[in-house]
Structure 1
Amino acid sequence: MRTPLTLICLAAAQAVAAAPTPERHAQALLDAMRDAAAVPGMSAAIWQGGRMRWQGSSGWRDVEHQLPVQAGTRFRLASVSKLFAVTMAAQLRAEGKLDADQPVGALLPGLDTAIAALTPRQLAAHLSGMPHYEWRDVTRGHTHHAKARDALVHMKGRELVATPGSRYLYSSWGYTLLGAAAEAAAGQPYLDRLHSRVAPGLDIGPDETGTSATMSGAYEYANGGVQPAPAHDFSYSWGGAGLAASAPALAEWGSRVLQGRVVDAATRDWMWQPTLNNAGQPVTSGNSTLGFGWRLGVDAQGLRIVHHAGSALGARSVLLLWPQADTSVSLLSNVMWTSSIERSAELLSAPFRAPLPDLPPRACPVKTTGFDAELDGAPLQGRARFRVDEDGLCRGELGLPAVLAKVVNQGPQPPADQLVVIGLQGGLARAALASPIGLSDWQAQADGSFRVDGVAGRKLVVRLTP
């Protein structure tokens, strides 16, 4: 016969068992995000305090053969590759082999005069005046370059489009030049230095799409669905877009940077100081300030972050670091999709970070049937339903009103007809809203409504109805 104390203990044990773990939260968010955006495959990882906290995979690395993404699946890094170029350059600076303010022509003879006068600091912060890809570059990706300096053939006759140091102009060609300068300063091929000194022992290296079994396929949206992307050789820019990595390897590399194991702490902090333009003002792009290639900012709660995202043929990627929380988050996918990927990575890692204080409690609203909302003050409404799943997660689906559909169905990914809500904290006190453009932050308000931040910069307020 069970005593009352036994029954109380059993109930407590069941309650603990039903509580969703951070790992379950994160996987549910990754799956919901991939499904909402119709991305073929995604992978993510979180390192915290110098150890792996979680790795998640979702979807297919090979759509045709239905091969799932695995922990070791490598994805194109796109412009996240730039972080390795600037960190290599900073490493060489610390060794006295590269001066961030010396013209690269001193390392790379034969450059056109204007390009030879550019400095690593200008190139890293997109202050060089170098153009991004132009019409003349339509055939890039058709030729393989064995070394970074071999890609300097693309610099011939290329004209600057702004005075160096005057203003921010994003240029991946600037990173082709920076990678070549780092290679020359190191006295060894770029990829050799990457493997031996910048990311030793990690599954990080050149893009090998189509030639390696550990690489994910590269895909694009076309004709209303997903299809293989055309072959593309990114060796014209090892420093700007040409690398690949698994999500765990990328997150571990970010953790090493945080802990001063790639460059020393003083050099790391130097990389994370704002770069100034000719007028003495910090260089900015969007909500970020530019350091030595790294983007500096704050998250939705005002905590300091350093990061970089990427978007390229067959790839969307991000690495996001919290220096004060010793947390590194990677999020990789195998198709270019429109998203707020930094905010998505931030929310993906939320279960492993401190909960938000002072949010009003909200139980999972399982009796809800609809919602009223305001989008930038304009009213809208739709159906809604919520449930608690077998892992204790509060899950909801919201019908997608036409006005809101125009905001989240921006393409190129296929349009969605509903949004998904995954509880993060206290039932539904905090949640993530999954849409085709990634994850948005859902928070309970004192008046009974929910504020949703990160929906393409729009102001969305939701009230659930019985």
Structure 2
Amino acid sequence: MKSLHHLIIIAFALTTWVVQANPDSEQLRWEQFVNAYSKQLKQKLKEKSIPGAALSIVHQQHGDHIAGIGQTKVKKGRNVTANTRFRLASVSKTFAGSLTAKLAAQGVLNLEDTVAEHLPIFSESAYGKAKLYHLLSHSSGLVPNAYDNLIESRMAYDKIYPRLVDVKHICRPGICYGYQNVMFSLIGNVIAQTTQLSYESWLEHFFFAPLGMKDAGLGHAHMTRDDNFAAPHVRGTKRWHTARLKPHYYKVAPAAGVNASAADMGQWLKAQLGIYPSVLSLDALTIQSRPYTHTKRELRRRVWRNYVEQAHYGLGWRIYSFSGELMYYHSGWVQGYRTDVAVLPELGIGFSLLLNAESGVINGLSTEFIRQAIEFSRTAREQADAQAAS
């Protein structure tokens, strides 16, 4: 089995493979695959009565499939379109990771700097020597989900994060994995302090605008600026109920603050595939995908047990070996929403699925796409090799 490090090197050392045998036929096969998957997805969403979804599928050679599905609300909602905003929840972390990698590649940030060098309040804390990459790879040494309870209170972020000083560490930085939201979001403070430009401004001017992510933004006010947003839904005894859009996790913008549409996510996937090097360079993509933290618990995830052979956390991205293929992945979950994003860089394929309902159906739907996409690509490779040999 190829090591994860070896997979990453291959992904960026080689250009995307080009199908030599009958490209028109290959294009048709891809379109048939995507259409069949889309039909399967819609049927499954209908079975589970999911109100709405945003689907984005990108292939570096064969084009995009961008679709809004269903309704923004179960009652009196409007049709979900490619431009309907969804809450990304923890998929927001991919933006923080990519931005930090971009700044590191440009020499603006040094990932080896300690957090305390940028935020002196942490100089005397038990984890004061944690480095910037520890923040983004969940290896700072804190107990998992430190102060998530305060995120869910009325307390402002500026009142929450200083309390991290008093949190006892469970291991030295870099030793153990502990998923964070407040600690992760300190990268926003670091970026603002270092560049004199807010985290929100960085995303807007250096990601959203140049990528044409016209519907993307941060925060509750952005989400509700008009009625073209997917409202959250929670499960009752027999059906889905529209819930109030809660502001809590918008406090931690790097961890969970981004809103985006299917069209936006298509552009984000392309950036991750290296299609827009002026936005995300090869150096930045390489930095963000280094396997900083081992996350062996992910190997036991029920729907992925038979597929994921290696699991790590990079900068804001989970880095997996999925059936032998390098994959960047992240999921998100806040009240009323479930989200998934996956990138197969060696295959030139990206996938995003956003739901405005807290349903586990997303697990099977995402896994099935990834499995089928890998199968499609391997078949195409075999056909190209056979054609070249004949």
TM above 0.5, yes or no, is yes
Sequence identity (%):
20
Structure 2 residue aligned with 1:221: 235
Read off the aligned partner of 2:137 and give its amino acid letter: A
Say which one has the larger Rg. Answer: 1
Which structure shows the higher helix fraction?
Answer: 2
Verify: 1:79 aligned to 2:90, yes or no: yes
Q: Find the aligned partners of 2:273 and 2:131 in 1 and give their Cα distance.
A: 26
**Cα distance between partner residues in 2 of 1:33 and 1:112:** 51
Q: Judge conservation of contact 1:205–1:244 (CA < 8 Å) in 2.
A: yes
Question: 1:269 Cα shift?
Answer: 1.3
Q: Which residue of 2 aligns with 1:54?
A: 65
Matches within 5 A, 1:330-409: 330-339=352-361, 341=363, 344-348=365-369, 350=372, 354=376, 357=379
Gap change, CA 1:164 and 1:142, over 3 Å in 2? same
CA distance 1:299–1:134, shift in 2 (3 Å): closer
Q: Is the CA contact 2:121–2:165 (under 8 Å) kept in the aligned structure 1?
A: no
SS class of match (1:117): coil
Partner in structure 1 of residue 149 of structure 2: 137
Deviation at 1:345, TM superposition (A): 2.6
Pick from 66, 77, 97 the counterpart of residue 77 of structure 2: 66
Q: CA deviation at 1:347?
A: 3.0
Residue 54 of structure 2 corresponds to residue 43 of structure 1 = yes
Partner SS, residue 240 of structure 1: helix
Give the conservation status (yes or no) of the 8 Å contact 2:54–2:354: yes
Gaps of at least 5 residues in structure 2 are 1-27, 300-310, 381-390
Gap change, CA 1:141 and 1:89, over 3 Å in 2: farther
Counterparts of 1:224 and 1:261, CA distance in 2: 49
Q: In structure 1, what is the Cα distance between the partners aligned to 2:326 and 2:104?
A: 25
CA distance in 1 between partners of 2:204 and 2:63 (Å): 21
The equivalent position to 1:267 in structure 2, one of 256, 280, 284, is 284
Are positions 1:294 and 2:317 aligned together? yes
Asked if structure 1 preserves the Cα contact closer than 8 Å seen for 2:129 and 2:173, the reply is: no
Q: Give the counterpart letter for 1:269 in structure 2.
A: T
State TM-score, norm by structure 1: 0.64
Quick check: 198-207 or 236-245, which moved more? 198-207
Q: Which residue of 2 is the match for residue 452 of structure 1?
A: none
Q: 1:139 to 1:257 in 2, by over 3 A?
A: closer
1:41-440 pair list within 5 angstroms: 41-49=52-60, 52-111=63-122, 113-114=124-125, 115-133=127-145, 137=149, 140=152, 142=154, 152-153=161-162, 155=164, 157-200=166-209, 201-202=212-213, 203-208=215-220, 209-233=223-247, 234-259=249-274, 260-275=277-292, 282-287=294-299, 288-300=311-323, 302-339=324-361, 341=363, 344-348=365-369, 350=372, 354=376, 357=379
Q: How far 1:325 moved relative to its partner?
A: 1.7
In 2: Cα distance, 1:141 partner to 1:71 partner: 33
Tell me, yes or no, if the aligned pair for 1:306 and 1:322 is still in contact at 8 Å. yes
Displacement of 1:204 in angstroms is 2.1
| 8 Å Cα contact 1:318/1:332 also seen in 2 | yes
Contact 1:186 1:193 in 2 (8 A): no
Secondary structure of 1:123's aligned partner: helix
User: Shift in Å at residue 333 of structure 1?
Assistant: 0.6
Structure 1 segments, 4+ long, off by >6 Å, are none
Note if contact 2:332-2:339 (Cα within 8 Å) is conserved in structure 1.
Answer: yes
By percentage of residues, which structure has more strand? 1
Cα deviation digits, residues 42-76 of structure 1 (max 9, x gap): 11111211774212222211222132211111111
